[in-house]
Structure 1
Amino acid sequence: MAQRISMRVMPALLLVAFSGAASASGFQLLEAGSGLGNAYAGSAAKANDASTIFWNPAGMTQLQAREVSGGLTAVRPSFKFNNKGSAVGVFSSPVVGDGDDAGSWAFIPNGYISWALNKDLYIGLGIGAPFGNATKYDKPWKGSAQSNEFDIKTININPSIAYRVNEKVSLGAGFSWQKIEADYYRQVAILPAQGFGALPQVESHMSIEDDAWGWNIGALFTLSPSTKVGLSYRSTVQFNTDGKVKLSGDGTAAGNATAAGLAVRGGASDVKADLEVPDTFILSVTQQLSDRWEMLGDVSWTGWSSIQDVDIIRTSGLQAGTPAQILRANFDDTWRVAMGANYKYTDAIKFMFGLAYDQTPVKSSSTRLTSLPDNDRTWFTAGLQWKPAKEQTLELGAAYIYIPNTKINQNETTINPLTNRGTVTGDYDSSVWLFGAQYSMAF
């Protein structure tokens, strides 16, 4: 019995550990290993440590016989909404704030191990979080009927294999078990208890989860002792989630009674939703310019158009078969370009620099969600790599991500007044700070 309980609890504990606020565009997480100081430029070509398992498994052939790598990144996004004429839902109180800062600290770990079976064949295992998001507003705010809190957690377990074809070409592949959980809170717009009295606060909590399989492949080309080119592809993952919608009052008699009444009338139910997280293609180059200087570059593509409308459908209760929520994301595919440089100060110390531009998948202010107020991002990064011993490396990195003024005009009014969630109009003052550490060891 205890073993069965632990098997159910373990994935939940891992998801808590591998959750985080999105640092890349959409709700993608790039904190999968070393390279923060270079803005993750050269990710599929550098093969410095076992975290290459995520970026390009072919890179394992460049490692020593056995290597481990583990890291932690602290992410602090900031999303401050400035109201510019929002029209709250007809049953929402207009006397509310702007939600303060919807961002907060998050911590993203990763871990890897690679093992040489012989001089040309390597196996490895990686654990990380490729996607995540967290926004939480001070409630009630002008957009409470659309979103109070939105949280996405993932964990990705990735066994891999790599083979050195010859001194110039290595190939790699892997498969992934990925689990996702999402929690979405919003205020339910309801009729005041009497006349035009205060609105009882009733909140909807929607939770969904699923696990599914994906795969990845990669190739590494050593064109010369000073030049490497890496190619990698990570597949989409199709989730067919299910979960529940629960309703809760605000502790007042009116709020609690209304929540109970709405639940009985089908407001609380089981739900399902299909979600296909995007695939990613990376082309990377590393070039040793001299004994001191190294340049790194990246061009990556992410297929965010796999996410259009996310229909969350009720599967039980009086409203079975009807939408509980439709998230109209309508994402576009995106590109990311990164450049980095390393300066070898001594045999033990290397300084790292990076710059990147990351497109948002959001098409316009009218499709920007209060739960995901994303925009284009520019990364400015620096870091330090220290080798206390030949077989050990400690890498420290920091990044500031500049996000331009982000406009939103999210209209969720409808002809049916019972589902009028208002229009959130304004802009966001946003930015992200990251601080990371990665420790790697060969043995």
Structure 2
Amino acid sequence: MNKNTTKTAVMTAFTLAMVAGTVQAGGLERGGYNIDLLFEPSTYAAEAAATYVNPQRELDNVVDINTAPTSGNLNGRPNNGIGETESYWVPRIGVKAGFGDSVDCMADYSQPWGAHTNPGSNWAGANDNIETKIESDNYAATCSYKWDVGQGQFRVIGGAFYQEVGGFKERLVTDLSLVSPTFSGVGRLDLEGNGWGWRTGVAYEIPEYALRASLVYNSAVDLDNLDGTIDLRNTLLPNGVGGFVPGTKYDVSSFASMPDSLELKVQSGIAPGWLAFGSVKWTDWSQLQIIQVNPNSTADPRNLPTSLDLLYRDGWTITGGVGHKFNDQWSGAVSLTWDRGTSHGYGNQTDTWTVGTGVSYAPTENVELRLAGVVGILTSGSSAPMDGSAAEVTYDFGTDIVSAVSTSLKVKF
């Protein structure tokens, strides 16, 4: 396998890895972490990518299990075919530079974490969720040092990243639809925080055979400064003597850690113009269980605590595929990915199976365009309160569809 064939096949493999790792992974994962640009053999390179993901999860047989007078009995509202998920974009931008024969460095911006559910207020589970949205921004710098070992090169990798994470949740706190036209009964929680993380890893490459094996660990990011507000001004709260008073808006604080992860990637040329690739990734989502949110001041009895109930288990993602170079400009690849759902009785993040395919077009040696698509299934299951969660609904969900399309542009010299 000649050098040009090797480079093209490697690029093809990354086309699918980029998309498959993004589509509806467990927990709060969106784009995750990606340092593939660090291995680009050109001295300088810049890359921009965008992925559009369209999950189509629907909830059925929804039952409001908290029918107390304050929260109301919502079982007369729609309870089947509730569209919960929203589509989203995942951007990524990176630049890489080589220094001599041994040192490579890259800087990148990404959005590793996120979530957006929006079933609205007109469903039987509105007292559990009306809309929840989480967003993130990640700024990273990563370098590696390599030297000759045997037929190839051994590489050590290290880096750091800074993350900003924030979002909100709205739910029906008190059902006032038959009582007050003034108060909606909807409460809102807003939180944001930031923190630092680091990564380390090793890799071994034999470019002649397009062989590479890498193992990279990304640390947890402690968001020990989460702060925000709870707004209950549209609700009426019991006053303790048989009446009700309007709620307040007050400052709150919390703590959470975004998960650490460990990923093994392997690829190898298997015939002239052909490349096989695969990866295994573990993500420590189980550290996100019940996130307590407390008021900064309890002087006002209307300043109430709350919680974000996630109750995740660890995530596992396994991908395998094959890439082929058709000619000097065109190459393609296909992959299969299994992602173990992070929900296990509470929530609807069950196992996901996706098939991806993509093409890479290099009109010149300095420019590469990629287009990839993914389609998959979100497996069925059910959700009910567990482990002390404050969930107020139960529901079922069937096998649903997720799809995605990704495009990227790389310039190198």
Deviation at 1:155, TM superposition (A): 0.6
Deviation at 1:88, TM superposition (A): 4.8
Distance 1:171 1:95, change over 3 A: same
Q: Which residue of 2 aligns with 1:164?
A: 146
Q: C-alpha separation between the residues in 2 aligned to 1:31 and 1:73?
A: 12
**1:262-310 per-position Cα deviation (integer Å, ceiling 9, x unaligned):** 324xxx3111111111111011110101112110011111111211211
Q: Is the 8 A contact 1:110 1:128 kept in 2?
A: yes
Deviation at 1:168, TM superposition (A): 1.6
Q: Which residue of 2 aligns with 1:391?
A: 366
Q: 2:174 aligns with which of 181, 185, 189?
A: 189
Work out whether 1:151 is the aligned partner of 2:133: yes
Q: Which residue of 2 aligns with 1:24?
A: 25
Q: Which residue of 2 aligns with 1:135?
A: 117
Distance 1:398 1:355, change over 3 A: same
Runs of 5+ consecutive residues of structure 2 not aligned to the other structure:
1-21, 238-243
Deviation at 1:105, TM superposition (A): 2.2
Q: C-alpha separation between the residues in 1 aligned to 2:92 and 2:108?
A: 8
Q: Which residue of 2 aligns with 1:440?
A: 410
Q: C-alpha separation between the residues in 1 aligned to 2:222 and 2:285?
A: 13
Distance 1:300 1:29, change over 3 A: same
Q: Which residue of 1 aligns with 2:193?
A: 210
Q: 1:113 aligns with which of 95, 103, 116?
A: 95
> Which has more strand, going by share of residues?
2
Coordinate RMSD, CA, aligned: 2.9
Q: Is the 8 A contact 2:120 2:131 kept in 1?
A: no
Q: Is the 8 A contact 1:125 1:158 kept in 2?
A: yes
Deviation at 1:75, TM superposition (A): 1.0
Distance 1:318 1:338, change over 3 A: same
Deviation at 1:32, TM superposition (A): 5.8
SS at 2:246 equivalent: helix
Q: C-alpha separation between the residues in 2 aligned to 1:304 and 1:72?
A: 25
Aligned residues: 377
Q: 1:232 aligns with which of 195, 208, 216?
A: 216
Deviation at 1:336, TM superposition (A): 1.3
**1:342-388 per-position Cα deviation (integer Å, ceiling 9, x unaligned):** 01111111111000111112222xx22xxxx3111111111111111
Q: C-alpha separation between the residues in 2 aligned to 1:403 and 1:436?
A: 19
Distance 1:213 1:346, change over 3 A: same
- The TM-score with structure 2 as length reference comes to 0.83
**1:306-331 per-position Cα deviation (integer Å, ceiling 9, x unaligned):** 11211111112545798622233232
Q: Which residue of 1 aligns with 2:251?
A: 270
Deviation at 1:400, TM superposition (A): 1.2
Q: 2:164 aligns with which of 179, 182, 190?
A: 179
Distance 1:413 1:329, change over 3 A: closer
Q: Residue type matched to 1:79 in 2?
A: R
Deviation at 1:182, TM superposition (A): 1.6
Q: Which residue of 2 aligns with 1:375?
A: 350
Q: Is the 8 A contact 1:22 1:134 kept in 2?
A: no
> Which has more helix, going by share of residues?
1
Q: Which residue of 1 aligns with 2:58?
A: 80
Q: C-alpha separation between the residues in 1 aligned to 2:399 and 2:127?
A: 21
Q: Is the 8 A contact 1:212 1:238 kept in 2?
A: yes
Q: C-alpha separation between the residues in 2 aligned to 1:412 and 1:146?
A: 16
Q: Which residue of 1 aligns with 2:267?
A: 286
The runs of at least 4 aligned residues of structure 1 exceeding 4 Å deviation read 190-194, 197-200, 319-323, 411-414
Q: Is the 8 A contact 1:84 1:427 kept in 2?
A: no
Q: Is the 8 A contact 1:409 1:426 kept in 2?
A: no
Q: 1:352-363 residue pairs with structure 2 within 5 A?
A: 352-363=333-344
Work out whether 1:220 is the aligned partner of 2:203: yes
Q: C-alpha separation between the residues in 1 aligned to 2:368 and 2:380?
A: 39
Deviation at 1:79, TM superposition (A): 1.8
